[in-house]
Amino acid sequence: MDRALDQTLDRSLTSAPIRALEDGFRAMVARSRTDPAPDCAERLDRLARLRSVVADNEERFRQAISADFGHRSAVETTIAEAMMVYSEIRHATKHLKGWMAPQRIGTALQFLPARNRLVPQPLGVVGIIAPWNYPLQLTLAPAIGAIAAGNRVIIKPSELAPHFSALLKETVAARFDATEMLVTGTEEDVAKAFAHLPFDHLVFTGSTRVGRLVAEATGRNLTPVTLELGGKSPAIVDASADLEEAAERIAYGKLLNAGQTCIAPDYVLVPENALQSFAEKVRAQMRRMFGADPANKDYTSIISDRHYARLEGLVADAAQRGAKILQPAKADDPNWKAHRKFPPTLIVGATEAMAAMQEEIFGPVLPVLGYRDANEAIAFVNRRDRPLALYWFGKDRTARDAVLARTISGGVTVNDCLFHFAQINQPMGGVGASGTGVYHGEWGFRTFSKLKPVFYRSKFNRLADLYPPYGGKIARLEKMMRFMS
């Protein structure tokens, strides 16, 4: 570990923030090796302290996140971030003792009366590179799993959320020793150095492009990595669907956090004969939910001017290529840009050549495309990278099961959007370009544990018959093993 770290960081060439990161990492690794297996009571205490970090500062976190966005809906921060963190901690606290218990594993007949057990152990030090879009929830959810598994945690928050990052660093330092949990700075050189550290496990949540760079960096140290990425998550509206219901639920899934959600529906496939009517229904639902006033406190701002300009470019490109642009509000109102809020936008009749269909949108812009039959819709999805999420709407179970069987995605919600993510007993993770590895609940505990197989030999076992000198005994044992296999 020290050799790998020395090869990664040259103290004579590094900045003060990187030296602080290196020192904190070394100290944490040292403690994880001398105290590798905190007991259940200690882990529960760490979980309780983490809950107090959020509970005692919930309003401060809401304000800090809103300051980073320009404006963030307080309700969205509460329900999509704070409440989910509380739920994760409550679930882990309730089930931790059971998760930590060695699991009974069957023993083959020829080895009886021996025993097999699968023993979960902490990996050591877990690194978390956190995103900006749900900075509280997507930072602390993997940390909860890592802490429950008995690990120590270093968090690198997003540089795009400086107010939140500073507050998290302050509040964590007030309740945790620096060898238990540590929050780094957000300097650019820290971000570059972080993934090169020889962690025992690293979690990255962010774009597929950056995820590839993280995977390359971690590969040099053979660091196990969980990548929570994104991509273009489709919504398929079947001919059997209630269009009004589907429009309402897709509008909500798309506009939560102004579309800055990795599992937001990125485009919608609708039967050709319903394309225009469905788009109008979505526009009406968007207007009903968020109105047409940029000052609406329920509607969240875009994180930066650069991201705003990118969304403008996607819409302009689609319009130039012949798409019909639908918006429930006057997009030329200068107050939209003044509040850095992007008006909800539908790209009706989108084509594969448009930029909006070439990259993850990550904003309140929704391409709507027509399809002729279910096979065409499935083929359209399968020509692209495997998405982080897929949404299907309809009443025809045969059609539903065909889509579920013939497409592969990180997760699925049927007849709604987003809510598979909130199922704490289900794993959350991507596949292929949308990510690798899972967490949430017990799945997170397992991800951040080494499930060590242990074989307990019995004194009555005849395994000694395998030892030389060989003779008739080995023939008898071989005959028995062949009979049992």
Helical pair 243-255 and 275-290, crossing angle rounded to 10 deg: 50
- In CATH, what number does 2-229+436-449 get? 3.40.605.10
Distances (CA, A) of 93 to 50, 332, 336, 441: 12, 51, 44, 10
Please check whether residue 73 is in contact with residue 260, taking contact to mean a CB–CB distance below 8 angstroms: no
**DSSP for 229-273, written as a single string:** -----EEEE-TTS-HHHHHHHHHHHHHGGGG--TTS--EEEEEGG
Separate counts of helices (H) and strands (E) for the chain: 18, 16
Active site residue 262: yes
- Dump the DSSP string for 145-172: HHHHTT-EEEEE--TT-HHHHHHHHHHH
CA distance 377 to 371: 6
Diameter of the chain measured on Cα atoms? 93
Q: Which residues pair with 183 in a beta bridge?
A: 155
Regions of the chain short of the pLDDT cut 50: 1, 9, 12
Quickly list DSSP for 452-466: EEEEE--TT--GGGG
Strands (DSSP E) along 186-281, which ranges?
201-205, 225-228, 234-237, 267-271
Contact status, residue 428 vs residue 421, Cβ threshold 8 Å: yes
Place of tokens 């598994």: 149
Q: Is 228 a catalytic residue?
A: yes
* Contact status, residue 337 vs residue 330, Cβ threshold 8 Å: no
Contact 203, 228 (CB under 8 A): yes
Give me the catalytic one of 262, 360, 417, 442.
262
Name the phi and psi angles at 221, rounded to 5: -105, 5
> What's the topology of domain 234-423?
Aldehyde Dehydrogenase; Chain A, domain 2 (3.40.309)
Q: Length of the chain in residues, anyone?
A: 485
Among residues 88, 180, 228, 442, the one annotated as catalytic is 228
Q: What is the pLDDT of residue 464?
A: 67
d(CA 155, CA 157): 6
Q: In this predicted structure, what is the pLDDT of residue 10?
A: 52
Q: What is the pLDDT of residue 460?
A: 81
- Residue 45: CB atoms within 10 Å: 14
> How many CB atoms are closer than 10 A to CB 250?
27
Q: Specify the pLDDT at position 110.
A: 76
Distance (Å, whole) CA 123 – CA 102: 16
Please report, for the chain, the start and end positions of each structural domain, with discontinuous segments joined by +.
Answer: 2-229+436-449, 234-423
Q: Which residue has the tokens 């983490």?
A: 50
